[in-house]
Amino acid sequence: MVTPPSRPRPGPGPKPGGPPSYDFRLGLWGSSGSGKTTYLGALALAADQARGRSVTWTLTSRHTDALSVLTELTHDLTVRQRFPAPTQSITELKWSLLGERLASRPANSSKNSWGGRGAGRPATPQAAAGNQSIEINLELLEAPGYLVDDNKWRDPDEDPLEFDDLDFDAPEPEPTGGMAGDIARLVDHLARCNGIIYLFDPEREDRDGDAFRHFNATLTEVQARTFRDGRMIGARLPHHFAVCVTKMDTPAVLELAMTRQEIEQLRESNGPIKLGSEIAEGLVDRLCRERPKGGARHVRDAIDNRFLPERVRYFATSAVGFWIGPDGKFDPAGYENVLVDGAGVRIRGSVRPMNVLEPLVWLAECIRKAQRAGLPT
Ligand SMILES: Nc1nc2c(ncn2[C@@H]2O[C@H](COP(=O)(O)OP(=O)(O)O)[C@@H](O)[C@H]2O)c(=O)[nH]1
Ligand SMILES: [Mg+2]
């Protein structure tokens, strides 16, 4: 049976006079340990901390289970100052991102769009009622590492994969054992998504050079599924694709992405540090250049070839953000926000997510624009 193509569905329906509501299906994808669960935990914090010039955001859910996941993950990062435990099972999360576009900027609001707490928020319910609201309903699927790990696509009795085995001509690996159903569910979800947040872990890529094998096995399945569903746009996938280069707060990663001088200059930043997409793309390019046999080259080529270029954007992401000293400044000599103590890995200071909300808002905006223009998504 051919499954009908996924169409943008109208929201559950805004109440008469209520905010416009948009439903998006977004996938979260990345190799095991790339930071997916942590990213989700940081999302509510990122929304609370966002100080847009004219829009404020908050994350919530109508669903009890999804709401408790949200609360627990945020609790891990802020109160316990620990990273969330590894994901054990596929979790479907229906979260809603509520945005409010201010009708006009309050006279006393700071010119700096990232001003003090509460900047730009309406002072009264009447003022809030005059603002434009938007409700973005997200369907996310978080998969445990074992589903996206290469080894589950392979016969466990086979010899271990060697780096040199990477080969475009090799037959695609088949999922083995009881995982097949779960993998099919993940592929099905990704194929039907309007947008995908792909977490690219440069540390792992640098260490293992194996990002491609995992990426390619899943992408090939997603493409075949999209093709069967009749959703391809020419030879390209219809998805909007946000590539989040993760763990940018790690010195090994930041020093690959930026020169020492550029890092020194971050000390002068006012407000939260937000690295541009050119830094993220530059880092991937550097990995491609300096490790031409590594997986990054293949991931980059696959992204360039399989998605519409105008639907791809890179983000320099850190779920926990940089450690900021008591003077409120970035310290080029000690910006790592993660440390190891007797009880394991711990988050050192406040969590200040960088480019965590942005990919999601970018995806939602682009998908909405494309849908308005009558383009397939
Ligand atoms: N430095 C740093 N490490 C991170 C960050 N996010 C995740 N990690 C590390 O990566 C590990 C795996 O993250 P997790 O979210 O469980 O990855 P998942 O398997 O993709 O869900 C965590 O336990 C942390 O050690 C980040 O923003 N910065
Ligand atoms: Mg996880």
> Considering the chain, what is the average pLDDT of its residues?
81
Q: How far apart are the first and last CA of the chain?
A: 22
Q: pLDDT class for 123, splitting at 50, 70, 90? A: low
Ligand in nearest proximity to the CA of 143: 2
Supply 84's token pair.
Answer: 């969330």
Supply 139's token pair.
Answer: 């369907």
Helices 295-306 and 211-228, interaxial angle, to 10°? 20
Ligand in nearest proximity to the CA of 87: 2
pLDDT at 112 over 50: no
What is the phi/psi pair of residue 254, to 5°? Answer: -60, -35
* Residues 248 and 317 sit within 8 Å (Cβ to Cβ): yes
Least confident of 170-179, 196-205, 237-246, 357-366: 170-179
Instruction: Find the 212 Cα to ligand 1 centroid distance in Å.
Output: 19
Q: Which amino acid is at 227?
A: F
Ligand 1 binding residues, C-beta < 6 A: 30, 32-38, 83-84, 86-87, 145, 247, 249-250, 318-320, 338, 345
pLDDT at 339 over 90: yes
Residues ≥6 apart with Cβ < 8 Å to 230 = 2, 5
How confident is the model at residue 104, as a pLDDT?
Answer: 61
pLDDT at 197 over 80: yes
* Residues 281 and 309 sit within 8 Å (Cβ to Cβ): no
Ligand 1 atom at minimum distance from 338 CA: 1
Q: pLDDT class for 131, splitting at 50, 70, 90? A: low
How confident is the model at residue 125, as a pLDDT?
Answer: 60
Residue 155 and residue 368: Cα distance in Å, rounded? 42
- The residue among 31 and 5 whose pLDDT is bigger is 31
| Mean of pLDDT values over 239-261 | 97
Supply 264's token pair.
Answer: 């020194």
Closest to 218 measured CA to CA, from 31, 24, 376: 31
Ligand in nearest proximity to the CA of 89: 2
How confident is the model at residue 353, as a pLDDT?
Answer: 97
Supply 102's token pair.
Answer: 């201010």
How confident is the model at residue 81, as a pLDDT?
Answer: 95
Write the burial class of residue 24 (CB in 10 Å: 0-12 exposed, 13-18 middle, 19+ buried): buried
| Tokens 């020093």 found at | 255
| Mean of pLDDT values over 333-352 | 93
Residue 322 and residue 145: Cα distance in Å, rounded? 26
> In Å, how far are 29, 123, 298, 314 from 304, measured between CA atoms?
17, 46, 10, 12
Chain segment 15-26, per-residue pLDDT in tens: 566 677 788 888
Instruction: Find the 246 Cα to ligand 2 centroid distance in Å.
Output: 14
| Most confident among 3-7, 32-36, 270-274, 305-309 (mean pLDDT) | 305-309
Residue 341 and residue 354: Cα distance in Å, rounded? 24
Ligand 1 atom at minimum distance from 34 CA: 20
Q: What is the pTM of this model?
A: 0.84
| Mean of pLDDT values over 163-184 | 52
Best substitution site from 31, 80, 83, 152 to test ligand 1's pocket, by max atoms within 8 Å of Cβ? Answer: 83
* Residues 40 and 74 sit within 8 Å (Cβ to Cβ): no
Q: Are strands 240-245 and 195-200 parallel, antiparallel or unpaired?
A: parallel
How confident is the model at residue 323, as a pLDDT?
Answer: 95
Least confident of 71-85, 134-148, 191-205, 261-275: 134-148
* Residues 202 and 318 sit within 8 Å (Cβ to Cβ): no
How confident is the model at residue 115, as a pLDDT?
Answer: 29
Supply 55's token pair.
Answer: 């829009």
Residues ≥6 apart with Cβ < 8 Å to 262 = none
| Mean of pLDDT values over 38-65 | 90
pLDDT at 249 over 80: yes
| Mean of pLDDT values over 28-49 | 92
| Mean of pLDDT values over 347-371 | 95
Q: What percent of the chain has pLDDT over 70?
A: 75
Ligand 1, atom 28: closest residue by C-alpha = 247
* Residues 226 and 188 sit within 8 Å (Cβ to Cβ): no
Delineate the domains of the chain, giving CATH numbers in brackets.
21-102+129-372 (3.40.50.300)
Instruction: Find the 204 Cα to ligand 1 centroid distance in Å.
Output: 11
